[in-house]
A and B are shown apart, each in its own frame.
Chain A
């Protein structure tokens, strides 16, 4: 790591290039229920990342060979729009989106009460409209809100957050430059009420102390985002209820 040693990611005053403190998150906005055709949906803006998620089902799983006799399968399709980055992305499934779809499905399986719907399928479609590092985390957050909006029983919501290391300093929520030229990246899927971790990946090296700091940052950020998720879900139904929640 550190092959880009000449790229300065921290300013003289200790703040990051975009003026954030090391433990400061990018701004997050969440809306629930934005797609009328889906059973549940969500829109999440996290910094410059924009993700839309639609949930369909539970429905009978087809083809039959994918059915599980004791639980529902969660079929996640993570996709980046061709226009989401500065270089055009070739439309369609690729190695990266397949991997993210798989790990997202596994993260969601640990919160959704899949055993309630044996032999069925829950379809989760995550579409990244704009990308600026950390899209898998934004996708997980959006999927959690959309699943709750669809009325699918869950143990908890799940929040996607990441922290990492730049210039030997642990920072929360890497942006594009920090992700590209930083030393490590630690995305996590956290169950905010219990603090359980349902998803964890690590790119780069972290010492035990650095890892623990990352963990603290991620937990703190997860709680902050959780408040916004709950607010988005309640706001949707407060509106529907004539403004009285």
Chain B
């Protein structure tokens, strides 16, 4: 999906750049058909798959999809619902009925107030981009301790690794609880030492997540910690 890629067929494109003729191919994400051409709408790498031409953006905002695990920050509270910033273009709405607590009408603030952080799942996204969140589910809760950090959307897969292998290693090495949410937010909790290590890892992801040398740098960081 993201990160450094090998192979000569990969081409970096910028918005407005013609990718090729529009006949016989379908325009995927990050592209647009204009006249006889498919043009890119974002800076990214061209990908062709089953006759669909798309552009994998290098940098993109989070677009919520139902089922996504997200970390939200409460932005406003009403009598029976919460609005949470989910790091995207639209705020998520958490109704009382989908919260894990029994709360009386008007007492929503006692459970979660502005600035509180929650681990939630996207219940549904409608065509008008209204997002409904749910906190009913295993592990979904208010995050009361630990740190929250943000990484670029397309670095998520690099932090997780193949089949979450990198993430598992990091959890084991740092001895921390780590949650990498779909919206680019990462929550870490553990002892101060482990958190410091994870902060270094996240800095590495932010600064070098695109580089081909990323995995080697991460290995070095992990080895360093193991031998310490």
Contact = CB atoms under 8 A, between A and B. Distances in A.
A242 B43 contact: no
Contacts of B44: 151
Interface size class of B (residues with CB under 8 A): 20 to 34
Interface in B83-97: 85, 88-91
Interface string A145-165: 000111111111100000000
Contact of B16 (A69, A154, A237): A154
B34 interface: yes
B90 A193 contact: no
Interface in A5-39: 39
Nearest to A229: B14
A60 interface: yes
Contact of B89 (A57, A156, A229): A57
Contacts of A72: 89
Contacts of B18: 193
Given A154-B15, A155-B16, A156-B15, A233 B89 contact: no
A230 interface: yes
Interface in A158-193: 191-193
Given A60-B85, A241-B4, A148 B42 contact: yes
B89 A58 contact: yes
Contacts of B213: 242
Given A150-B59, A193-B17, A237-B43, A118 B128 contact: yes
Interface in B127-182: 128-129
Given A39-B59, A157-B16, A151 B90 contact: no
A119 interface: yes
B203 to A, nearest CB: 11
Nearest to B30: A153
A113 B208 CA distance: 29
Nearest to B61: A58
B211 interface: yes
Given A69-B128, A113-B32, 18 more contacts: A57-B61, A58-B89, A60-B85, A119-B90, A120-B89, A120-B90, A149-B43, A151-B60, A152-B42, A153-B30, A155-B32, A156-B16, A192-B16, A193-B16, A193-B17, A193-B18, A241-B210, A242-B211
16 contacts: A39-B61, A40-B59, A69-B128, A120-B90, A148-B15, A148-B42, A151-B57, A151-B59, A151-B60, A154-B42, A193-B17, A193-B18, A237-B12, A240-B211, A241-B212, A244-B4
Interface of A: 39-40, 57-60, 69, 72, 111, 113, 117-120, 148-157, 191-194, 229-230, 233-234, 237-238, 240-242, 244-245
In the A-B complex, the 8 residue pairs with the smallest Cβ-Cβ separation, listed nearest first, are A156-B16, A151-B59, A58-B89, A120-B89, A240-B210, A154-B15, A153-B41, A151-B60
